[in-house]
């Protein structure tokens, strides 16, 4: 469903991604792990072109997103993204955060958008907060709303950029629970995370990035017990 071929990305002289190739199948849950500065977030942000790759080819479904002729806005409708710092629209209520894009981008009727939003808010356990403004919510609640907002577009892939890194420890679990449920529902997910236990439990594959290279691509059972590379071993010793 997603195919990445020889992806390079440089910021000025600094080469952050040094030729990454991988393929992600439908319904797969991928956890991207690696030390900070390894290019995890940049890799994720290249997938929906929030960062423009320096070179390489990325294909989502039938769309070659790196092709200039592809309408990237159309592709993005189909690729949900959740950010470390939520980025909810602070001047819109929770409900409006969920209904805005479906109504204004996809042309969904207001009635239908609200129906979809209400159902999603039930799913993430925040239906009673639908009239609140984001600043009245806790970090964990904000992130659950952000997930629901992305899901309201009915995407076929969800990208998560360190979704729990900005949360207080006691709020991490509620967000991971929502993500777990989503994974079990068959959503294709690519998750940059530092939550090793979550990755081990939920991911189908671990991509281990270091120094802008894809060092390892293994199932979690193997990655966490007997990683192939010395770099992964060293990293795991530090974090586990």
Partner 1 sequence: MLDFQAVVPSIPYILKGIGVTLQIVIGATILGMVLGILLALCKIGKIKVLRLIADFYTSIFRGTPLVLQLMIIYYAIPQLFDINIDPMPAAILAFGLNSGAYISEIIRGGINAVDKGQQEASLALGIPYAKMMKDIILPQAMKNIMPSLMNEFITLNKESAIVTVIGALDIMRRAYVVGGSNYHYLEALMVAGVIYYIMTLILTFLGKKLEKRMSRSD
Chain contacts with partner 1 (rule: CB under 8 A): 48, 50, 73-77, 79-81, 83, 85, 87-92, 100-101, 104-105, 133-135, 149-150, 153
Q: Which is nearer to partner 1, 52 or 234 (CB)?
A: 52
Helix, strand, coil % (nearest 5) of the chain? 40, 25, 35
Say which residue the tokens 């990445």 belong to.
Answer: 4
Minimum CB–partner distance for residue 25 and partner 1 (Å): 22
Minimum Å gap between C-beta 47 and partner 1 is 11
Q: How many CB atoms lie within 10 A of CB 110?
A: 10
Nearer to partner 1 by Cβ, of 101 and 171: the residue is 101
Smallest separation (angstroms) from partner 1 to the CB of 132: 9
Specify whether the CB–CB gap between 58 and 47 falls below 8 A.
yes
Furthest C-alpha separation in the chain:
55
* CA atoms of 140 and 3, how far apart (whole Å): 32
CB of 67 to partner 1, least distance (A): 17
**Cβ closest to partner 1, residue 129 vs residue 205:** 129
- Shortest separation between residue 87's beta carbon and partner 1, angstroms: 4
Beta bridge partner(s), residue 18: 8
CA pair distance 151, 124, nearest whole angstrom = 11
Nearer to partner 1, 145 or 214 (CB): 145
In the bound state with partner 1, the residue whose beta carbon lies nearer, of 96 and 216, is: 96
């Amino acid at each position: 469903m997603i195919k990445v071929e020889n992806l390079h990305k440089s910021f000025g002289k600094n080469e952050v991604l040094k030729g990454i190739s991988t393929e992600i199948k439908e319904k797969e849950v991928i956890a991207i792990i690696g030390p900070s500065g390894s290019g995890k977030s940049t890799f994720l942000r290249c997938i929906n072109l929030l960062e423009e790759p320096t070179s390489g080819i990325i294909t989502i479904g039938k769309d070659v997103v790196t092709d200039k002729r592809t309408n990237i806005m159309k592709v993005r409708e189909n690729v949900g993204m959740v950010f470390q710092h939520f980025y909810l629209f602070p001047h819109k209520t929770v409900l409006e955060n969920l209904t805005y894009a479906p109504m204004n981008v996809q042309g969904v009727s207001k009635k239908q958008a609200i129906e979809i939003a209400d159902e999603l808010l039930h799913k993430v356990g925040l239906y009673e907060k639908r009239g609140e403004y984001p600043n009245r919510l806790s970090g964990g609640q904000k992130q659950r709303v952000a997930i629901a907002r992305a899901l309201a577009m009915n995407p076929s892939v969800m990208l998560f950029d360190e979704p729990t890194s900005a949360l207080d420890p006691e709020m991490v679990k509620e967000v991971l629970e929502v993500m777990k449920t989503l994974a079990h529902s068959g959503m294709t997910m690519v998750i940059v995370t530092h939550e090793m236990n979550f990755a081990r439990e939920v991911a189908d594959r671990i991509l281990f990035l270091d120094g802008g290279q894809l060092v390892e691509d293994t199932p979690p059972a193997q990655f966490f017990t007997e990683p192939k590379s010395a770099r992964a071993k060293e990293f795991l010793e530090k974090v586990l």
